[in-house]
Amino acid sequence: MPLRMELSRILIHELKDYQLIELREVDGSRTFPIMIGLPEAQAIDRRMKGQRVKRPQTHELLANVIEALGGELESVTICDLSEHTFFATLDIRTGPNGDIQHIDARPSDAIALGIANDAPIFCEEHVLAGAQSDIG
């Protein structure tokens, strides 16, 4: 069963090729970092600070497309970890029956979209356990 997570911090170092976000278990104490690119980190940081940009960013464009096609972002799930690479899905409610579609996404894009749309972030238990063993 996926565990509810929250963004606990974001570390932006503009002179490095990668940035870090840290997710924390909502009903627990486990955390883990994910390396992301600078544009995604800046988009997440702007959203967390309530700053708007004049034109839609990629994640905002995607949110507009999902909505225009009658879908709704239900949640974001960090669903797998393989060779130190995290995998995620956008969990989108669609159709007249409210089916959930799980769309493959990079965690950075998924989290940026989720933060922008106040969608919950989940993590599969095996991913969190694997991330903990990578850290330790």
pLDDT tens-place string over residues 8-60: 999 888 777 789 999 999 999 999 999 998 888 888 888 888 888 888 777 78
pLDDT score for 57: 77
**Separation of alpha carbons 74 and 95, rounded Å:** 13
Return the domain boundaries, the chain: 3-135
Q: What is the CATH number of domain 3-135?
A: 3.10.690.10
Query: Is pLDDT of 136 > 60?
Result: no
Per-residue model confidence as pLDDT tens digits over 61-103: 888 899 999 999 999 999 999 998 999 999 999 988 889 999 9
Tens digits of per-residue pLDDT, 97-125?
A: 889 999 999 998 999 899 888 999 999 99
